[in-house]
Amino acid sequence: MSIFREYDIRGIYQKDLNKDIVFSIGKYLALELKKRGGKSIAIGYDARIHSPDLFDYLSNGISSEGLKIYFMGMIPTPVAYFSLYHKFENIDNIDASIMITGSHNPPQYNGFKITMLKEPFYGEDIKKIGKLIESKIYNFKEYTKDITNINALDEYINFLTNHFSNLRDFRYKVALDCGNGVAGLAITKVLENLNIDFLGLYTNPDGTFPNHHPDPSVEENLTSLKKAMKDNDIKIGIAYDGDADRLALLSENYSFKGDELAILFARKILEGGLKPVIIGEVKCSKIMYDEINKIGKAIMYKTGHSNLKVKLKETNAHLAAEMSGHIFFNDRYFGYDDALYSSLRALELFLDSSIKDVENIIKSFPQMYSTPEEKVESSEEEKFKIIENLAIKLSNPPSDFPKILDIITIDGLRVVFENGWGLIRASNTTPILVTRFEATTKELATFYKQKMLGLLKD
C-alpha cells in the first residue's frame, strides 16, 4: 500500500512497480474511468529509462478493459494535463490522462500522475485502487491494444508560442537548467520560436540525471545555474524539476520563493484589471497573505498539488502557489501546475520593469525571518495521531509558552504568535512531520521553534 500515495502512485521500478502490479493498476484505472463514463486515456512518460516498460505494462492493463489509448511519447507532465483541454484534429474527446513519472525522485523511482475528466485522481480514489490490488493482483497478459499516437508536445509548443507572442524578442538573455528532465523538450523550442536568447543547461533528457538531482527547491541543485548566470552575465535564470511541473526563478541578486512569486503574479493580475484571488498553502509566509489581501483576496489551504487544483476550481481563484514552485494559473490558463507556462509568465514580470525593480518589490515588504522546511521522522501509523496529541497540548500550553493568538487547522497546526507563526503538519506522502517557523527576527523564529518542538517531543 505504500506506493499508493495522496497525490500519485510512486515506487521503485521492479521492486514496487512490476509487470503484474502495473498491469493491475491499468486495469483498475480503466474500470474506474468506465464507471465515470470515460472511454479514452492519453498516456505519456518522462525521461526515466524504465518508463517505456511501465507504459507497456500499463497499456495492456487498460486494453484488457477495451479502452482507447492515445500515446504521447516522452513529454513534460503539463502536456499530459494539456491533452485534456486541447482540441486535437480528428479526436472527439480525451477523457483521462496518465503521466508515467517519478517527478524529482531518484532514478530508480517511477510512478503515475492521474487525471480523470479534468479532475485530479487522488486521496481516497488512489487508496481505493491500492485496496483493490491488495485484494486481487492480475497476472500480466498481452492484449490487442487500440493505440493512436498523437503529437501533443508540438500542439503544446504551438499553444505557448502563440499565447506568449508578447515576449517575442525579449530583451534579456535567460539561463535554463532542465536538470536532464523533460522540460528541455518544450521550453527550448518555445524560446527559439519567440526569438528569445537563452543558455540551456542539461536540456537533453537523461533518466539517470548525471549532472544533479532534478529538484529546484533544494539550494545545492541550483549551483550550476548560478555559476552559468555569473560566468555569462545573464540576469534571469529558471530551473525545472524532473517532469517540469515545478520551477525556481532566479535573478541577478535574488532567488524568488513560491510565495513571493504569488505576490508578483497577483500584482500583474491587478494591472490587467482583475482583483486577484490567490490561494496559498499553509507553509506560505504571512507576508504573502498580508500583501495579497491589500490588493485582492488571499486564501490559505492545504499543501499538495491535487488539493490546490481542486480548491482553485471550487473558488475560481486566479492563481494558486506552493513554496516548492508548483504554480497554478487559472486566469489565462487551465488551472493546473505547469512550470513551463509559469516560467513564461515569470518573464512577463520583466517586460515593463527592470530586474532591479522586480527585486525591489520583494525587498520593500516587511522583513521576516523564516526557517527552512525541516522534517521530523515519524511513521505512517503515528504521524496524524501525533498531530492530534499536539493539538491537545496546545489547548493548554505550559506557562512559559509564547502567547497563542490563533491555531489554524487547515493542514496540520499553524500556530499564530504575536510576532510570527510555527507550523507542524503530517506529510501526506511520506512518514514524516514537516515543520516551518517564521518571525520578525531570527531569534524569535528560533524561540518559537524550540517551544513547539519541545511540545512535539513530549
| In a domain? residue 157 | no
Say whether both 179 and 322 belong to one domain.
yes
d(CA 256, CA 407): 28
Q: What is the mean pLDDT of the chain?
A: 96
Q: Which strands, in side-by-side order, build the sheet including 236-240?
A: 198-201, 174-177, 236-240, 247-251, 254-256
d(CA 338, CA 320): 11
Would you state the pLDDT for residue 74?
Answer: 98
Say whether both 258 and 194 belong to one domain.
yes
Say whether both 70 and 170 belong to one domain.
no
Say whether both 399 and 306 belong to one domain.
no
- Single-letter amino acid, residue 335: G
Q: How far apart are the first and last CA of the chain?
A: 30
pLDDT surpassing 90 at residue 426:
yes
| In a domain? residue 300 | yes
d(CA 281, CA 433): 16
Say whether both 84 and 222 belong to one domain.
no
| In a domain? residue 111 | yes
pLDDT surpassing 80 at residue 333:
yes
Average pLDDT over residues 164-181: 98
Beta strands in 108-235 (DSSP E): 109-116, 119-120, 147-149, 174-177, 198-201
Say whether both 148 and 183 belong to one domain.
no
Would you state the pLDDT for residue 240?
Answer: 98
Would you state the pLDDT for residue 142?
Answer: 96
CATH code, 440: 3.30.310.50
Domain housing 439: 369-457
Of the candidates 294, 286, 321, 297, the one whose C-alpha atom is nearest the C-alpha of residue 307 is 321
Q: Specify the DSSP class assigned to residue 106.
A: -
Say whether both 386 and 323 belong to one domain.
no
Catalytic residue among 103, 251, 342, 378: 103
pLDDT (tens digit per residue) in 200-246: 999 999 999 999 999 999 999 999 999 999 999 999 999 999 999 99
CATH code, 123: 3.40.120.10
Taking the CA atoms of 447, 453, 456 and 458 in sequence, report the sign of the dihedral they define.
negative
Q: At 83, is the secondary structure helix, strand, or coil? A: coil
Say whether both 272 and 399 belong to one domain.
no
| In a domain? residue 4 | no
Say whether both 379 and 452 belong to one domain.
yes
| In a domain? residue 266 | yes
Say whether both 199 and 274 belong to one domain.
yes
Would you state the pLDDT for residue 5?
Answer: 84
d(CA 345, CA 163): 10
- Last-in-domain residue among 363, 393, 419: 363
pLDDT band at 106 (very low <50, low <70, confident <90, very high): confident
pLDDT (tens digit per residue) in 119-163: 999 989 999 999 999 999 999 999 999 999 999 999 999 999 999
Is position 103 annotated as part of the catalytic site?
Answer: yes
Say whether both 268 and 384 belong to one domain.
no
pLDDT band at 6 (very low <50, low <70, confident <90, very high): confident
pLDDT band at 433 (very low <50, low <70, confident <90, very high): very high
d(CA 132, CA 114): 17
- Last-in-domain residue among 346, 363, 380: 363
Say whether both 276 and 314 belong to one domain.
yes
| In a domain? residue 92 | yes
pLDDT surpassing 90 at residue 430:
no
Domain count, the chain: 3
pLDDT band at 191 (very low <50, low <70, confident <90, very high): very high
CA angle 95/101/103 to nearest 5° reads 120
- Last-in-domain residue among 329, 363, 397: 363
| In a domain? residue 3 | no
Produce one character per residue of 128-146: b if its CB has 16 or more CB atoms within 10 Å, e if not.
ebbebbeeeebebeebeee
Would you state the pLDDT for residue 1?
Answer: 77
pLDDT (tens digit per residue) in 42-66: 999 999 999 999 999 999 999 999 9
| In a domain? residue 2 | no
